[in-house]
Amino acid sequence: MSSHTLLRHRPTPDLGLRHRTVDAVSSGFRGLPRNLGRPLGWTRGWLRPSSTLAATLFLLVRLANLVLLTLIVRNRHSGRYSGTPLFLDPLRDWDYGWFMTVAQHGYPSTLVPGAQVVDPHAIAFFPGYPGAIWLVSKVLRMQSGYAALLVSAVAGTVAAVALYQLVRDLYGPRVGLVSVLLWSAQPMGIVLSAGYSEALFCAFAFTALRATQRRQWWAAGVLAFLAGTVRCQGLAVAGTVVACALLAWWRDGHEPRRLAGTLGPAAFSLAAVPGYILLIGLRVGDLGGWFRMEQDGWHSGWDGGRTTLRQIWDTAAASPDFFMGVVVVLGVIAVMLYGFALAERLWFGLLVYGGLSLIQLYGSTVMAQSRPRLLVPVVTLVVPLALVICRARPVSRVLVLVPLVLFGLWYGAYALSVWQLGI
């Protein structure tokens, strides 16, 4: 048996497109140029009609979500935003205020409360998104609040195109489009249109995965590094790039002289998250300051999953309200979908990225209400579902996709506008 057989992808059944049997490392890991002289090769095809269709699909789903959000906030007589004429207020709340603070005033230089304008807890937020807001507001001479929404809209579109191209190369165009639809319409997908960092993180993460799949190691390393400047979940992206680089190097003959050229750019991506934590610790005079502010402000830390299990048990045993029940069910479904991804033998990079992301999420002590939002970047969960849907008959596809999309749009709009701490 060939050494590739055990990790080879199963050929997808007839989807009305040509089959693509994909190797475990990627379809692009064999037969593609091995030189690193074209670091922007991952950008090819961005203006092709199929990529434009993926971007249009994403924007239409986001528009539908915003219309639904507007209808809810205008017709509710109770809730956080009852009577609000437009959808802007729900999109600019909670963590949005922290991002605005950093974008306009920078980070504090001490952790002493009240010693300066910026609250010490602002250091819990990574600089990538507020930095992008500051840059766009200065270049386009627009208010920071509108710049935040513009950054999310553009970054979300870039992420949708990168996701489509990644899945298209692995499993075909139809699966790529369905993946974009499921990702953009998932529960809490509305955060991709809000003043939150998820859209920018997804843009860097998905383009990094795309570059990894094409063996563009320098591009992958830089993009993964940028993802790490947006959220601490960038560690999952960097870990994926490193794992794929190591596997590619080993399967290429593991020659020592080629190790630096393959692994060096990937290893560079690992520096972003610890680098920020170190630098901000030096700035405030406390190397553990980031961890302290995370724990003090949001009770967020790491306990290996004990908090997650307790949240599930407390919700199941204490007659939970509807919202918390849905949150727990969505978390269980996420784990099941990852198991399905393993059974489907998805591309190695997607499996590593999904596994590291779920470990990071469910091993933390983050609030249960935030978990559906934190699942938005875990694109590994939508690809196996898209594969199954595309294998079905057209009528079955519609019967599955329509309820999933409608539920996702409703959940995000309702959670953002009505439920307390829904985001």
Mean pLDDT value across the chain: 84
Across the range 356-385, mean pLDDT stands at: 93
Q: Is residue 336 part of a domain?
A: yes
Q: Is residue 66 part of a domain?
A: yes
pLDDT at 323 over 70: yes
Does 3 reside within a domain?
no
Query: pLDDT digits over 262-300, tens only?
Result: 788 888 899 999 999 999 999 999 999 999 998 888 888
Residue 154 CA: distances (Å) to CA of 44, 45, 108, 192 = 18, 18, 29, 10
At residue 80 the predicted structure's pLDDT band, cuts being 50, 70 and 90, is low
From CA 171, how far away is CA 164, in angstroms rounded? 10
Examine residue 39 and state whether it is found in any structural domain, yes or no.
no
| pLDDT for position 82 | 53
Band (pLDDT 50/70/90 cuts) for residue 5 is very low
Spatial distance between the Cα atoms of 186 and 155, rounded to a whole number of angstroms: 17
The count of structural domains within the chain is 1
Q: With beta carbons less than 8 A apart as the criterion, state whether 376 and 196 touch.
A: no
Residue with tokens 């060096």: 264
Whole-angstrom Cα distance, residue 163 to residue 52? 12
* 8: confidence class by pLDDT, cuts 50, 70, 90: very low
pLDDT tens-digit readout, 82-123: 555 566 777 777 888 899 999 999 999 888 887 777 888 899
The answer to the question of residue 2 being in a domain is no
What's the mean pLDDT in 308-327?
81
> Residue 305, by phi and psi: left (phi above 0), alpha (psi -120 to 50) or beta?
left
Nearest Cα neighbor of 387 from 1, 15, 26 is 15
Read off the pLDDT of each residue in 355-377 and give the average, rounded to a whole number. Answer: 92
Judged against a pLDDT cut of 90, whether residue 235 lies above it is answered with yes
Q: What is the mean pLDDT of residues 161-174?
A: 95
pLDDT of residue 324: 84
Residue-wise pLDDT for 200-220, tens only, equals: 999 999 999 999 999 999 999
Q: Cα(8)–Cα(6) distance, rounded to whole angstroms? A: 6
| pLDDT > 70 fraction of the chain, expressed in percent and rounded | 84
Worst-scoring range by mean pLDDT, 202-211, 228-237, 319-328?
A: 319-328
| Within a domain: 11 | no
pLDDT at position 319 is 60
Domain assignment present for residue 75? The answer is: yes
Asked if 198 and 373 count as a contact pair (C-beta separation under 8 A), the reply is yes
For residue 80, the enclosing domain spans: 44-417
* Contact (CB, 8 A) for 123 and 131: no
What pLDDT sits at residue 81? 60
Is residue 25 predicted with pLDDT exceeding 50? no
Identify the pLDDT of residue 34: 41
d(CA 341, CA 336): 9
**pLDDT at res. 76:** 66
Determine the average pLDDT of the residues in 8-29: 38
Task: Output the pLDDT for position 90.
Answer: 75
Q: What is the mean pLDDT of residues 8-20?
A: 38
